[in-house]
Amino acid sequence: MKSITRKAGLLLSTATLVLALPLGSAQAQEKNVVAVSIPAATHGWTGGVVYHAEQAEKEVEAAFPNVDVVLSTASSATAQVSALEDLSATRKLDALVILPFTSEELTGPVEQIKAKGTFISVVDRGLTDPAIQDLYVAGDNIAVGANTARWLSDKLGGEGEIVVLRGIPTVIDDERIKGFSDVINKTNIKILDIQYANWNQDEAFKLMQDYLAKYPKIDAVWANDDDMLLGVIEAVDRAGRKDIKYALGGNGMKQVIEMVKEGNERTPVSTPYPPSMIKSAIYMTAAQFAGQAPMRGSFLLGAPLITPENADQFYFPDSPF
């Protein structure tokens, strides 16, 4: 599948275009079912995903009477598989927009739905077989890791000892770690430890406590997600550790953007990864049925460093994330 790289502005422009498309004879047609399957609000970022998906459901159905958006949330990969099986068994799905809870466990079930002729849009956490998807919308996760690593390497002078927290076993976590590691491996910076904390603040707090007990000197921490970053910061503050020069995350949570805006010495940068990408994907998928505007390919949002100089561009105080 041809990969087309775009920034967030294009996705928003596309969404606007889709909503502006004329209905024509579409109103007289039988409703097309667009199923949306996403994780429940298990942490801040997915809370934002649920919020934007709910908004898209209302807006798309109001704009296009011939489109029925069916939204389903799941608290685990197993629950998401079961929900997909129920949806597929009870109605004909013209399209599926899915943000997989985990990549490996959802690939087979989505492939089975694809075999029935369903248009597949995958968001954020890619499937292990990209050939299944017709449309892919995500952030540039390799750039998220690489841009963070370049900044950190520059600040540490290419030397030091760091620890890393991984998210959930998914394609996007693999990509973030690859982007980060490829840069760090070209320096003299040593990664002391790297373990999963499942993009969860409480788990990150506990894992960071373990790191702090195990390693008497840590120069920096990368928690590839802002929910985990908050847990890391809490653990470091409670321990009173002053050796940690930088604690970095990613995703652009408004609480972290506030730190960046204020010039926080320990967390002076972040990277964007907006949960509103689910909304863009739903709009783009609805375009298949709303105005003869087929959207296919891979759309990646840029991942520039968020700094005090540009933080206002990424700060949305009314957002749930």
Token pair, residue 17, equals: 């275009």
Domain boundary among 261, 295, 313: 261
- For residues 80 and 201, membership in a common domain is answered with no
Q: Is residue 42 part of a domain?
A: yes
Question: Both 87 and 59 in a single domain?
Answer: yes
67 and 151 assigned to the same domain: no
> Does residue 124 sit in the same domain as residue 238?
no
Residues 120 and 163 in one domain: no
For residue 295, the model assigns a pLDDT of: 83
Contact status, residue 273 vs residue 252, Cβ threshold 8 Å: yes
Out of 208, 231, 261, pick the residue that ends a domain: 261
Q: How many domains does the chain have?
A: 2
Dist CA 240 CA 40 (whole Å): 34
Q: What integer pLDDT is reported at residue 6 of this predicted model?
A: 40
Q: Is residue 315 part of a domain?
A: no
Residues 237 and 255 in one domain: yes
Question: What distance in Å separates the CA atoms of residue 223 and residue 234, rounded to the nearest whole number?
Answer: 13
pLDDT level of residue 53 (50, 70, 90 thresholds): very high
Percentage of the chain lying above the pLDDT 90 cut: 74
Is the residue at 321 inside a domain? no
Q: Does residue 217 sit in the same domain as residue 294?
A: no
Q: What is the mean pLDDT of residues 182-193?
A: 98
- For residue 30, the model assigns a pLDDT of 81
Give the burial class of 161: count Cβ atoms within 10 A of its Cβ; 0-12 exposed, 13-18 middle, 19 or more buried. Answer: middle
The verdict on 233 and 301 lying in the same domain is no
222: left (phi over 0), alpha (psi -120 to 50) or beta: beta
Higher pLDDT: 152 or 47? It is 152
> Tell me, what's the pLDDT at 274?
86
Per-residue pLDDT of 72-107, as tens digits, reads: 999 999 999 999 999 999 999 999 999 999 889 999
Virtual CA dihedral for 200, 204, 205, 210, nearest 10 degrees?
A: 150
- What pLDDT was estimated at residue 19? 46
Regarding whether 256 and 184 lie in a shared domain, the answer is yes
Give residue 249's domain range.
Answer: 141-261
Per-residue pLDDT, 29? 54
Residues 48 and 167 in one domain: no
Cβ-proximal residues to 157 (8 Å cutoff; 6+ apart), any chain = none
Q: At what angle do helices 44-63 and 226-239 cross, to 10 degrees?
A: 160
pLDDT at 2 over 70: no
* CA gap 122, 133 in Å, rounded: 6
pLDDT for position 4? 39
Tell me, yes or no, whether 69 lies in a domain.
yes
- Mean pLDDT along residues 225-237: 97
The DSSP-derived string for 132-159 is G-SEEEEE-HHHHHHHHHHHHHHHHTTE
Q: Is 163 found in the same domain as 94?
A: no
Compute the distance between CA of residue 1 and CA of residue 62 in angstroms, rounded to an integer: 32
Specify the pLDDT at position 316: 79
Q: How far apart are CA 279 and CA 266, in angstroms?
A: 33
Last residue of a domain, one of 237, 261, 285: 261
β-pair partners for 161: 190
Mean pLDDT of 251-261: 94
pLDDT at residue 9 is higher than 50: no
Question: Is 49 domain-assigned?
Answer: yes
Above 90 in pLDDT, residue 259? yes
Residue 139, Cβ density class (10 Å: 0-12 exposed, 13-18 middle, ≥19 buried): buried
Same domain (yes/no): 55, 152: no
Q: Does residue 316 lie within any of the structural domains?
A: no
Q: Give the pLDDT confidence of 20-43 residue by residue, as tens digits.
A: 444 444 344 589 999 999 999 877
Phi/psi at 38 (5° precision)? -140, 160
DSSP state of 293: -
Mean pLDDT of the chain: 89
Residues 6+ apart with CB under 8 A from 136: 1, 121, 122, 123, 126, 130, 297, 298, 299
Q: What is the CATH number of the domain that holds 240?
A: 3.40.50.2300
Using pLDDT thresholds of 50, 70 and 90, give the confidence band for residue 69.
Answer: very high
Beta bridge partners of 33: 68
- Give residue 302's Cα distance to chain centre: 12
